[in-house]
C-alpha cells in the first residue's frame, strides 16, 4: 500500500513538472502576444483602485473607466514624448561614446605599459567591453518602445479588464453554483497584489525622480533617461539598481572622469539604501510571501521567458503561481517551497519547563 502511494506521488510529481515545462514552452512561443497582455494587466492592476474609488463615489462604471484611461493616456503621452526624445538622442550619440570609451581604454593601456605591464592589442576590450553596455541599454529600451507602440490595443484591453472587475466575482459564483460564495482567499490575494503593485509603482516613481535630479545636478547627459531607467529597473528585485546604475555611471566616467563617476554611483547607492531599507519595507509590509532564493530564480526564469517585461513583473507572476499552488492539495508542497519560511504548524515549539 505504501509503495503504491509512493508511485502515485512520483507520477503526480512528474506530471506536474511536465505540465510546467509545456506551459513554459508555450509562454516562450507566444512571447510577443503575452507581453502585450501582461503590460495591459500591469496597467489594469494600477488602474483598478482609482476605478473602485470612483465607483464608490457613485460615478457610473463606464465613466469611471474612461476617466482612468484618459489619465493613463495623458501620463503615457507625457512620458513617451520626454523619454522618446532622450532615447533618440542617446541612440544617436552611441558612436561618439564608443569612440570615447576606446580612447579611455587606449590611455589606460598606455599607462599600464609605462608601469611595465605587457598588454596585447585589444586585450582590455576582449575582457571588458563597456561599449556593449551602451548598445545593450539602447536595445533594451528600444524593445520596450516597440511594445508600447501597440498602446492602443493595450489600453483597449485595460478598459475591458476594468469594466469586468465588478462582474468577475458574480461569474465565479455562477460557475460554482453558490450565490453566497465570498472567496476570502482570492480577495486577499488580489488585495495584496494590488497593494504591492501600487506601492512599488509609487516607490519606483520616487526613485526615478531622485536619480534624475541627482544626475541633473552632476550635469550628466540625458538625466531624464537615467531617471526613467531607474524607475523601470526598480521593479527588478536585487539586481535592478545595479543594472540601472551601470550605464549611467559609465557615461559619467566618460564625461567627467572618475571623481564625478564616484559621486554618481554614491547617489544611486544612497537612493537605493534609503528606499530599500527604510521606505519600501514600511510601505510594502512583511514582504511578498516568497523566499529570497525564489525571488532571484524567478528573475532569471521570467526574464528568459519574457525579456525585460518578465524581469520587471517577475514578483507578481511568481506570487500568482504561489497562490494557484496553495489552493490545490496536490501542489501545495510547491507553494511551501516558494514561501519564505515553514508554515506555522510545522515550526518547532519550545518545550515548557
Q: Taking residues 201-225, report their average pLDDT.
A: 90
236 or 92, higher pLDDT: 236
Q: Is the confidence at residue 213, as pLDDT, over 90?
A: yes
Which of 22-36, 206-220, 328-342 has the highest mean predicted lDDT (pLDDT)?
206-220
Mean pLDDT of 73-93: 76
What confidence category does residue 131 fall into, taking pLDDT thresholds of 50, 70 and 90? low
pLDDT grade for 352, boundaries at 50, 70 and 90? very low
Give the separation between CA 259 and CA 253, rounded to whole angstroms: 8
Residue 178 cell numbers, joined: 453558490
Q: What is the pLDDT of residue 81?
A: 74
pLDDT in tens, 22-81: 777 776 666 677 777 877 888 888 888 888 888 888 888 889 999 999 998 888 777 777
Q: Are 244 and 234 in contact (CB under 8 A)?
A: yes
Residue scoring higher pLDDT (245 or 136): 245
Q: What is the pLDDT of residue 163?
A: 85
Residue 200 vs residue 215, higher pLDDT? 215
94-102 CB contacts, 8 Å cutoff, 24+ apart: 94/134, 94/135, 94/138, 97/131, 97/134, 97/251, 97/254, 98/131, 98/134, 100/254, 101/130, 101/131, 101/134, 101/254, 102/131
- Residues 150-198 pLDDT 10s: 777 888 888 888 888 777 777 767 776 766 666 677 777 777 787 788 8
Taken as a whole, the chain contains a residue count of 353
Contacts of 306 (CB under 8 A, 6+ apart): 27, 31, 34, 35, 38, 313
Stretch 286-313: mean pLDDT, rounded? 79
Residue written as cell 599600464?
A: 112
The CB density around residue 173, as the number of other CB atoms within 10 Å, is 15
Lowest mean pLDDT among 41-45, 287-291, 331-335: 287-291
Residue pointed to by grid coordinates 506530471: 15
User: What's the pLDDT score for residue 198?
Assistant: 80
Q: Which residue has the higher pLDDT, 348 or 253?
A: 253
pLDDT at 324: 81
**Cell numbers describing residue 183:** 472567496
Does residue 211 have a pLDDT over 90? yes
Query: What pLDDT is recorded for position 121?
Result: 53
Q: Is the pLDDT of residue 319 over 80?
A: yes
Report field, pTM of the whole predicted structure over 0.75: no
Q: What is the pLDDT of residues 258-280, one digit of tens each?
A: 889 999 999 999 988 888 777 77
- As a three-state string, the secondary structure of the chain is CHHHHHHHHHHHHHHHHHHHHHHHHHHHHCHHHHHHHHHHHHHHHHHHHHHHHHHHCCCCHHHHHHHHHHHHHHHHHHHHHHHHHHHHHHHHHHHHHHHHHHHHHHHHHHHHHHCCCCCCCCHHHHHCCHHHHHHHHHHHHHHHHHHHCCHHHHHHHHHHHHHHCCCHHHHHHHHHCCCCCCCHHHHHHHHHHHHHHHHHHHHHHHHHHHHHHHHHHHCCCCHHHHHHHHHHHCCCCCCHHHHHHHHHHHHHHHHHCHHHHHHHHHHHHHHHHHHHHHHHHHHHCCCCCCCHHHHHHHHHHHHHHHHHHHHHCHHHHHHHHHHHHHCCHHHHHHHHHHCCCCCHHHCCCCCCC
Which pLDDT score, from 0 to 100, does residue 351 have? 47
Closest by alpha carbon to 296, among 346, 262, 340? 340
| Greatest alpha-carbon span in the chain | 83
CA 37 from chain center: how many Å? Answer: 15
pLDDT band at residue 130 under the 50/70/90 scheme: low
Which three cell numbers, joined as nine digits, stand for 40? 495591459
The mean predicted confidence, pLDDT, of the chain is 76
Amino acid at each position: 500500500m505504501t509503495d503504491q502511494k509512493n508511485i502515485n506521488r512520483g507520477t503526480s510529481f512528474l506530471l506536474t513538472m511536465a505540465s510546467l515545462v509545456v506551459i513554459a514552452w508555450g509562454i516562450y512561443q507566444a512571447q510577443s502576444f503575452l507581453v502585450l497582455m501582461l503590460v495591459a494587466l500591469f496597467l489594469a492592476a494600477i488602474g483598478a483602485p482609482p476605478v473602485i474609488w470612483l465607483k464608490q463615489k457613485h460615478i457610473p462604471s463606464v465613466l469611471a473607466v474612461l476617466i482612468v484611461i484618459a489619465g493613463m493616456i495623458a501620463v503615457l503621452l507625457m512620458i513617451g514624448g520626454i523619454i522618446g526624445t532622450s532615447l533618440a538622442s542617446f541612440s544617436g550619440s552611441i558612436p561618439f561614446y564608443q569612440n570615447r570609451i576606446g580612447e579611455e581604454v587606449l590611455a589606460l593601456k598606455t599607462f599600464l605599459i609605462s608601469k611595465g605591464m605587457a598588454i596585447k592589442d585589444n586585450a582590455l576590450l576582449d575582457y571588458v567591453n563597456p561599449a556593449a553596455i551602451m548598445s545593450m541599454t539602447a536595445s533594451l529600451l528600444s524593445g520596450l518602445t516597440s511594445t508600447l507602440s501597440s498602446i492602443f490595443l493595450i489600453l483597449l484591453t485595460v478598459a475591458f479588464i476594468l469594466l469586468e472587475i465588478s462582474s468577475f466575482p458574480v461569474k465565479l459564483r455562477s460557475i460554482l453554483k453558490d450565490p453566497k460564495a465570498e472567496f476570502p482567499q482570492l480577495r486577499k490575494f488580489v488585495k495584496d497584489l494590488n497593494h504591492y503593485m501600487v506601492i512599488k509603482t509609487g516607490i519606483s516613481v520616487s526613485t526615478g525622480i531622485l536619480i534624475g535630479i541627482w544626475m541633473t545636478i552632476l550635469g550628466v547627459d540625458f538625466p531624464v533617461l537615467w531617471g526613467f531607467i531607474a524607475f523601470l529597473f526598480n521593479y527588478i528585485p536585487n539586481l535592478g539598481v545595479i543594472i540601472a546604475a551601470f550605464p549611467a555611471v559609465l557615461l559619467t566616467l566618460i564625461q567627467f572622469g572618475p571623481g564625478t563617476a564616484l559621486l554618481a554611483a554614491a547617489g544611486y547607492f544612497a537612493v537605493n539604501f534609503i528606499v530599500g531599507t527604510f521606505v519600501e519595507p514600511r510601505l510594502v509590509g512583511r514582504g511578498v510571501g516568497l523566499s529570497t532564493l525564489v525571488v532571484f530564480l524567478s528573475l532569471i526564469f521570467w526574464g528568459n521567458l519574457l525579456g525585460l517585461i518578465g524581469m520587471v513583473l517577475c514578483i507578481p507572476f511568481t506570487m500568482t503561481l504561489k497562490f494557484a499552488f496553495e489552493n490545490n492539495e496536490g501542489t501545495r508542497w510547491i507553494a511551501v517551497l516558494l514561501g519564505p519560511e515553514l508554515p506555522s504548524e510545522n515550526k518547532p515549539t519550545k518545550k515548557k519547563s
